[in-house]
């Protein structure tokens, strides 16, 4: 797969890194999850890039974007994206959000409906109970544990990640993704993501009722749901009853289960069903 063009764009008082896969059609603006970066979209860009232009961003504090001391919230990311679209000359996009990125996409669609053509939510955007949120954070704990730690080498950094059951099978795209997120420091390597920024983000996430966005979404919405848990059967981000509420409350929403996937493999592994569902939704007349 072709490497993306990497460039900077202006956010709301912060410089943001974007990866661009040029294509002939509409622009898909890809928004990653809590501790991720723009390279989590490599496989989806490979599947969509022949028909669409893919613009994947590093949220503030992630990847090669600026890392201000504070300002990590869904609404701040929404403001960053609005500024980024202005800077890149993007009047109208199709937001594709994974996990936290799904909630950010909904905030964008609710506040700036004129800038959103339609929307894809990849295993995210659901209003979870406190109990389910606790299960989810337990499931993503192995991914959070790498933050703030010094490792003697990149190989040591990915040693435990390569054994994580939810990342199997390991692949070159996963290696590219994790290599992009590390920086060399005295004594070895570490993630570029600061744990205190993720702590602020997590606290702010728990204060936001994402269901407020549902009735405000005027565009068609596709929800792609991972059916399997990460470390247990019940640590899923979109339980059926949560998706049911989304379908009932979002004016034009539909859900497709991506069977056999978990919260990570739905984006990090090849999946023909996921790709077909997205292509059919983005251009139903193709």
DSSP characters over 257-273: EETT--TTHHHHS--HH
Q: Categorize the per-residue pLDDT at 132 as very low, low, confident or very high, splitting at 50, 70 and 90.
A: confident
- pLDDT for position 284: 67
Average pLDDT over residues 72-87: 98
Least confident of 56-65, 77-86, 154-163, 228-237: 228-237
Phi, psi of 82 (to 5 degrees): -60, -45
pLDDT digits over 213-263, tens only?
999 999 999 999 999 988 878 889 999 999 999 999 999 999 999 999 999
Instruction: Report the chain's terminal Cα–Cα distance, integer Å.
Output: 23
Residue 278 corresponds to which tokens in the numbers above?
A: 């997205």
Rounded to whole angstroms, how far apart are CA atoms 46 and 21? 9
Instruction: Record the pTM.
Output: 0.95
Give the mean pLDDT of the chain: 93
CATH code for position 42: 3.40.50.1820
**Domain extent for 78:** 5-282
pLDDT value of residue 106: 98
Is the pLDDT at 285 greater than 70, yes or no?
A: no
Lowest mean pLDDT among 54-63, 98-107, 139-148, 164-173: 139-148
Q: How far is 157 from 58, CA to CA, in rounded Å?
A: 21
Give CA–CA dist 79/45, Å, rounded. 24
* Total number of domains constituting the chain: 1
For residue 64, the model assigns a pLDDT of: 97
């Amino acid at each position: 797969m072709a490497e993306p063009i990497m460039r900077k764009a202006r956010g709301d008082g912060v410089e943001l890194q974007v990866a661009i896969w040029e294509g002939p059609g509409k622009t898909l603006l890809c928004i990653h999850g809590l501790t991720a970066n723009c390279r989590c979209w490599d496989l989806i860009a490979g599947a969509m890039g022949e028909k669409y232009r893919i613009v994947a961003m590093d949220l503030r504090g992630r990847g090669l974007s600026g890392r201000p001391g504070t300002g990590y919230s869904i609404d701040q990311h929404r403001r960053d994206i609005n500024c980024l679209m202005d800077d890149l000359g993007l009047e109208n996009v199709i937001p594709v959000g994974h996990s936290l990125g799904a909630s950010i996409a909904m905030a964008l669609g609710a506040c700036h409906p004129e800038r959103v053509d339609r929307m894809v939510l990849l295993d995210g955007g659901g209003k979870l109970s406190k109990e389910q949120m606790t299960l989810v954070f337990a499931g993503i704990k192995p991914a959070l544990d790498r933050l703030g730690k010094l490792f003697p080498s990149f190989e040591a950094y990915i040693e435990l990640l390569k054994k994580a059951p939810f990342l199997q099978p390991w692949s070159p795209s996963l290696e590219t993704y994790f290599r992009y997120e590390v920086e060399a420091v005295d004594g070895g390597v570490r993630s570029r993501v600061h744990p205190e920024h993720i702590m602020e983000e997590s606290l702010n996430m728990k204060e936001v009722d994402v269901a407020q966005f549902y009735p405000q979404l005027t565009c068609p919405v596709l929800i792609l749901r991972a059916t399997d848990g990460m470390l247990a059967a019940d640590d899923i981000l979109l339980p059926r009853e949560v998706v049911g509420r989304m379908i009932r409350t979002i004016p034009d929403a539909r859900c497709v289960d991506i069977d056999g996937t978990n919260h990570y493999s739905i984006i990090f592994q090849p999946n023909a069903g996921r790709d077909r569902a997205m292509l059919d939704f983005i251009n139903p007349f193709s």
